[in-house]
């Protein structure tokens, strides 16, 4: 497994930190501490070694942000997965002053759908805002919630015709049925607020947002683009799927096991999500231990033996997949290059590292297209990964989010066992499944 924040001139730039004992999954030498200013110097050296052109702008940004980190506190990264960035540059300064990020995984998934229907978004937004309203102390929160509900109800009443017109023809009846349930549900939520029953608000909000998300999915008419030809025959997830990951937790009197619901987004990462679903159907992860859990990420997927990924029995070679990044505003993902390498310093990714439990592929530090089976879940948020301005977006392929029990990821430890990962929906969206061929 390779480094999270790494630099091939560490010996000159960074003071070493000892690998924690008992970390049998670590196969490397002493681990480095991260020095932002010296990391910027390392960037220049690495780019020269790789024959990349010198970028004064990028280097200046790195150095300025490094100084900011020194002033505000330098995080120490003591280990890294097979993994994050070869030479992670810091994001453009302008990104750091963007608006409040969306951190809720359900909201991120809704906004990531390939639809363009303003009317349904105007229903969605005030329902999501209820979460902020509930942060107000006591029953005063209910006054704000009531305003949210009225705004959503008004938007639904005024925009229902436009919402229905946006439904895919084959899904229209189902979508209209969901809208009817949404209307009834909002009336019920209004009664909850009038009864001043604060405790019942969050569960009803979750139900209504599920209806909204399902309506939005009914607006997607087929798969919206062609995957690049060179990857077209790989396992692909053309749509969404959900899995339940059951983890046996050791040495925790408060938690013996936990089931994490994970939604996989094939609309924005069809190759990456398809690879994972294919491995799930092979039971690849069943019985595998958690191999890293350090408060920064939880990681697994490194099989026993010399291989660091899935060995395809039909070829007896490690199956790898390309780096796959969907840029916000684009119709199809880019492959094989980071957004930094493409010069897209200000671009936002459709699936950002914003949520606690963001799921992404680990890879070799210097090989963009080396991901295979190792996956990680980011535990938010550290100084190096502020939402909407972190060093991971555009460099690692996000393909899903933990949507249930994500907070319990913080309780998972090295050595805890994944009893099973089971597909609960979306198998019909998997094409070219290799597990059916090789068993």
Decide if 293 contacts 250 (C-beta within 8 A).
Answer: no
Out of 36-40, 260-264, 294-298, 396-400, pick the least confident: 36-40
Among all chains, which residue has been given the structure tokens 């705004």? 151
**pLDDT at residue 387 in the model:** 59
Out of 42-56, 283-297, 308-322, pick the least confident: 42-56
Out of 91-100, 168-177, 253-262, 320-329, pick the least confident: 91-100
Work out the average pLDDT over 157-169.
Answer: 98
**How confident is residue 418, by pLDDT bands cut at 50, 70 and 90?**
very high
Q: What is the pLDDT of residues 219-232, one digit of tens each?
A: 999 999 999 999 99
CA-CA distance, 53 to 33, in Å (whole number)? 27
Distance separating the N- and C-terminal Cα atoms of the chain: 27
Work out the average pLDDT over 267-284.
Answer: 98
pLDDT at 388 over 70: no
**pLDDT at residue 63 in the model:** 40
CA-CA distance, 377 to 362, in Å (whole number)? 10
Q: What is the pLDDT of residues 89-98, one digit of tens each?
A: 333 333 333 4
**pLDDT at residue 435 in the model:** 85
**pLDDT at residue 65 in the model:** 36
**How confident is residue 35, by pLDDT bands cut at 50, 70 and 90?**
very low
Q: Which long-range CB contacts under 8 A does 75-78 form with residues at least 24 apart? A: 75/34, 75/382, 75/383, 75/384, 76/17, 76/33, 76/34, 77/4, 77/5, 77/32, 77/33, 77/34, 77/296, 77/384, 78/17, 78/19, 78/20, 78/31, 78/33, 78/294
Q: What is the pLDDT of residues 231-274, one digit of tens each?
A: 999 999 999 999 999 999 988 888 888 999 999 999 999 999 99
**pLDDT at residue 381 in the model:** 57
CA-CA distance, 273 to 426, in Å (whole number)? 11
CA-CA distance, 349 to 325, in Å (whole number)? 7
pTM: 0.79
pLDDT at 194 over 70: yes
**pLDDT at residue 193 in the model:** 97
pLDDT at 216 over 80: yes
Q: What is the pLDDT of residues 87-124, one digit of tens each?
A: 333 333 333 334 478 899 999 999 999 999 999 999 99
Q: What is the pLDDT of residues 333-358, one digit of tens each?
A: 999 999 999 999 889 999 999 999 99
CA-CA distance, 11 to 7, in Å (whole number)? 9
Task: Give the range with max mean pLDDT: 82-96, 155-169, 382-396.
Answer: 155-169
**pLDDT at residue 55 in the model:** 42
Burial bucket for residue 423 (CB in 10 Å: 0-12, 13-18, 19+): middle
**pLDDT at residue 423 in the model:** 98
Q: What is the percent of the chain where pLDDT is above 70?
A: 74
As a 3-state breakdown, the chain gives helix, strand, coil percent values, each rounded to 5, of 40, 15, 45
pLDDT at 36 over 60: no
pLDDT at 281 over 80: yes
Out of 21-30, 155-164, 245-254, pick the least confident: 21-30
pLDDT at 156 over 50: yes
Higher pLDDT, 145 or 94: 145
């Amino acid at each position: 497994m390779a480094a999270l924040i790494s630099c091939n001139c560490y010996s000159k730039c960074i003071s070493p930190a000892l690998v924690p004992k008992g970390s049998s999954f670590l196969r490397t030498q002493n681990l480095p501490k991260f020095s932002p200013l010296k990391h910027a110097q390392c960037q220049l050296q690495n780019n020269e070694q790789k024959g990349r052109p010198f970028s004064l702008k990028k280097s200046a940004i790195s150095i300025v942000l490094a100084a900011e980190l020194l002033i505000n506190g330098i995080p120490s990264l003591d280990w890294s997965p097979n993994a994050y960035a070869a030479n992670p540059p810091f994001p453009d300064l302008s990104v750091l002053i963007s608006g409040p990020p969306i951190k809720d995984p359900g909201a991120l998934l809704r906004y990531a759908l390939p639809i363009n229907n303003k009317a349904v978004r105007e229903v969605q937004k005030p329902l999501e805002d209820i979460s902020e309203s509930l942060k107000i102390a006591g029953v005063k929160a209910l006054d704000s919630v009531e305003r949210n509900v009225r705004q959503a109800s008004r938007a639904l009443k005024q925009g229902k015709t436009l919402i229905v017109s946006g439904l895919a023809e084959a899904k229209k009846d189902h979508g209209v049925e969901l809208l009817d349930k949404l209307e009834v549900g909002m009336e019920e939520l209004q009664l909850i607020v009038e009864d001043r029953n604060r405790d019942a608000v969050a569960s009803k909000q979750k139900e209504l947002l599920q209806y909204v998300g399902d309506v939005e999915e009914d607006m997607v008419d087929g798969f919206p683009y062609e995957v690049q030809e060179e990857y077209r025959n790989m396992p692909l997830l053309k749509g969404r799927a959900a899995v339940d990951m059951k983890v046996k937790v050791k040495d925790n009197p408060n938690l013996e096991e936990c089931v994490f619901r994970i939604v996989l987004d094939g609309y924005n990462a069809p190759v990456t999500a398809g690879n994972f679903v294919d491995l799930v159907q092979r039971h690849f992860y069943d019985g595998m231990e958690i191999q890293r859990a350090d408060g920064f990420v939880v990681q697994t997927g490194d099989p026993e033996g010399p291989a660091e990924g899935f060995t395809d029995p039909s070829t007896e070679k490690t199956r790898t997949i390309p780096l796959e990044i969907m840029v916000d505003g684009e119709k199809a993902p880019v492959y094989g290059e980071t957004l930094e390498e493409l010069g897209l310093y200000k671009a936002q990714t459709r699936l950002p590292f914003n949520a606690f439990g963001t799921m992404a592929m680990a890879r070799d530090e210097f090989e963009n297209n080396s991901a295979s089976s190792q996956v990680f879940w980011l535990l938010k948020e550290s100084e190096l990964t502020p939402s909407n301005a972190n060093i991971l977006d555009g460099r690692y392929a996000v393909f899903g989010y933990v949507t249930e029990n994500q907070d319990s990821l913080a309780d998972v430890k090295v050595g805890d066992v994944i009893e099973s990962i089971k597909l609960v929906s979306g198998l019909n969206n998997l094409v070219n499944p290799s597990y059916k061929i090789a068993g």
